[in-house]
Amino acid sequence: MNNHIPLEITLISADVFKKPNLFTRPRIYAVVSLLADSDSRQRTPADEHGGAKPFWNFPISIEIRESNLRHNSVGIILHLCQRRTLGGVKNIGSIYVPVKELLDYAGGRNLRRTVAFEMNSRSGKPKGVLYLSYLFGETICELVGMREKGGERVVVPSAPPCPPPSAPCLAAYGYFPAFLTSPAP
């Protein structure tokens, strides 16, 4: 049985410590993914007007396997990127957050917390702050053979159904016909 815990992250805003460019305003966006799971990659739209202080308030939903969470083997990687005017992308900074720490800090499920994470360069200089809120939902129990169909989880049988009986089964008061005694003459 695979149990999943839903994690809702809302990327609120960022504050990038960068000298402003006089000619162009930076268009900054955030990319969120689980460590070693490229399918979980999601990104915010680029903020066209915020400059070095982008504001998104963008919700992201991720499902985390409960077994990975117990072993502390899952983490979230947050990247801040800048879309350049002449094309290309510049990586502003990255943050790695163990999901177990988020769960411990939340103090339980169904409690929304708001946190700020500082981004540092490789040399240790501060590059910015990323603000987000998160909420852990209740555990989703997934049975073997459960699949998604149209955004809804359905249970798929693992074996074909039993065939119908070849002859009608007759019973009298809970006894099989072969065991019934015939009346004495």
Dump pLDDT digits (tens) for 153-166.
Answer: 655 555 566 666 66
Residue 12 lies in a domain: yes
**91-138: per-residue pLDDT in tens?**
888 899 998 888 888 877 778 999 999 987 777 788 889 999 999 988
Question: Is 177 inside any structural domain?
Answer: no
Is 131 a domain residue? Answer: yes
Residue 27 is inside which H or E element, if any? Answer: strand 27-34
Answer whether residue 169 is part of any domain. Answer: no
Reduce the DSSP state of residue 167 to 3 states and report it: coil
Q: CATH no. for residue 37?
A: 2.60.40.150
pLDDT at 134: 94
In a domain, 102, yes or no: yes
Tell me how far the alpha carbon of residue 129 is from its chain's centroid.
23
> Is 80 within a domain?
yes
Query: Would strands 152-155 and 55-65 be described as parallel, antiparallel, or unpaired?
Result: unpaired
Across the chain, mean pLDDT equals 79
pLDDT of residue 170: 57
Structural domain includes residue 184: no
Question: What pLDDT, on a 0 to 100 scale, did the predictor assign at position 61?
Answer: 93
Full residue range of the structural domain in which residue 16 is found: 2-141
* Amino acid 100: pLDDT: 87
Cα–Cα distance between 134 and 112 in angstroms, integer? 6
Residue 23: inside a domain: yes
Tokens of 177: 């016909």
- Total structural domains in the chain? 1
Tens of pLDDT, residue by residue over 43-70, are 999 988 888 899 999 999 998 888 888 7
CA torsion through residues 150, 155, 156, 160, sign: negative
- Spatial CB neighbours of 29, under 8 Å, sequence gap ≥ 6: 43, 44, 45, 46, 47, 54, 56, 80, 81, 83
| Coil/strand/helix, residue 137 | coil
